[in-house]
A and B are shown apart, each in its own frame.
Chain A
């Protein structure tokens, strides 16, 4: 795996962590919670090397 590809996985993991953090911080707005999870799914599938 090339260095730039490794860096992109690191960036993906960082963004996923930020999305999870924002999801956990959200208290009331269910629409935002759904949006955070929708954004999270492709990131998780990429980090797990599924898609």
Chain B
């Protein structure tokens, strides 16, 4: 063998090994699924593609869990993982899927709204591929996703994303961000079709309330809050005051800017009768000036750099040595959602929604998130879904 081919062969082997070592974990991450046990309250599971058939068979399609009460009433939709790197909402909706029982009205849950984003990752930012939630019967492993859908499912990106229908210009990345593609369109980019499917569901099924669960950096002003347009502001304000008085945590109200299009808290309200609410829980993992992006930081939210910044009053939330653990974030999402539903029901008794079985903030902080997950090995296989 000539010297040239000895060098080439060695380089090819190194490149192959690097590609396999890098590629196999990414392939396994994209195809890993977490078992979720549909609890006694789940009456039907449909797909988002029921509303936009072109999503069928794609990685952007998502499960929609429907929990119908015996008595007719209002309808509430709860979406999580619109940004799949903000996992508190996903964990809160899984607690709901596995435990909620609806007595009156209907609860609709989409745990992986940007399903493609949950199959994506951000190696350049050092994201872990998975995180584990401990339970009494073992650990449940979840994929850590990304803010944007995977380019494997929607490619290429445009130079500039022009929002439909108002032609506002966004960063090219936002064409894969399902909180910039509302209200969507049936023949647009894949993420526009995902949001359009949800809009169609809200319009067709006359959904009264839509809750979109997120997480935001502690250094970002719109954090630890409920974002609501004018039509939802009264319920949001009553909710914020009630959880502060009764459950002892802050969750202020931010108005939805009327000119900032593409966001769920803006477009759902403008393009349907539904009242939108976007919940933000602090997630220190997403802050830029932190230590390594570890699973520990994701779960306990403890970081010495943020603590130092907090002492200099650079954060928009209170922050101490206890960090911002996942239990607090999931607990806030559950309590705030339940309180929004309660406030809506008080104002609209003919469309009241009554739900049992969802733990509130103090219970989740005390017992941990995993306490409310059920062992899929002991469940009826027909009730186990893979998210």
Residues of chain A whose beta carbon lies under 8 Å from any beta carbon of chain B: 4-5, 8, 23-24, 27-28, 30, 33-34, 37-38, 40-41, 44-46, 48-51
Asked if A34 meets B11 with Cβ closer than 8 Å, knowing A4-B156, A27-B4, the reply is yes
Residue of A nearest to B12 (CB): A37
**At the interface, is chain B mostly helix, strand, loop or mixed?**
helix
Give CA–CA (A23, B12) in the complex, Å.
Answer: 10
Point out the residue from A5, A37, A45, A49 that lies within 8 Å of B22, measured CB to CB: A45
7 smallest beta-carbon distances between A and B, as pairs: A37-B15, A50-B23, A51-B26, A50-B27, A8-B156, A41-B19, A5-B155
User: Would you give the shortest CB distance from A37 to chain B, in whole angstroms?
Assistant: 4
Total A-B Cβ pairs within 8 A: 43
A-B contact pairs, 13 of them (CB 8 A): A4-B156, A5-B156, A8-B156, A33-B8, A40-B15, A41-B19, A41-B22, A45-B22, A46-B151, A48-B23, A50-B27, A51-B26, A51-B152
Give CA–CA (A33, B12) in the complex, Å.
Answer: 9
Asked if A8 meets B155 with Cβ closer than 8 Å, knowing A37-B11, A51-B26, the reply is yes
CB of B7 within 8 A of chain A? yes
CB of B18 within 8 A of chain A? yes
Residues B155 and A33 in contact, CB atoms below 8 Å apart: no
Give CA–CA (A38, B137) in the complex, Å.
Answer: 45
Residues B23 and A30 in contact, CB atoms below 8 Å apart: no
Contacts of B151 in A (CB 8 A): 46
Encode B6-18 as 1/0 by CB contact (under 8 A) with A: 0110011011001
Residues A41 and B18 in contact, CB atoms below 8 Å apart: yes
User: Would you give the shortest CB distance from A28 to chain B, in whole angstroms?
Assistant: 7
Residue of A nearest to B189 (CB): A2
Point out the residue from B11, B27, B156 that lies within 8 Å of A30, measured CB to CB: B11
Give CA–CA (A48, B22) in the complex, Å.
Answer: 13
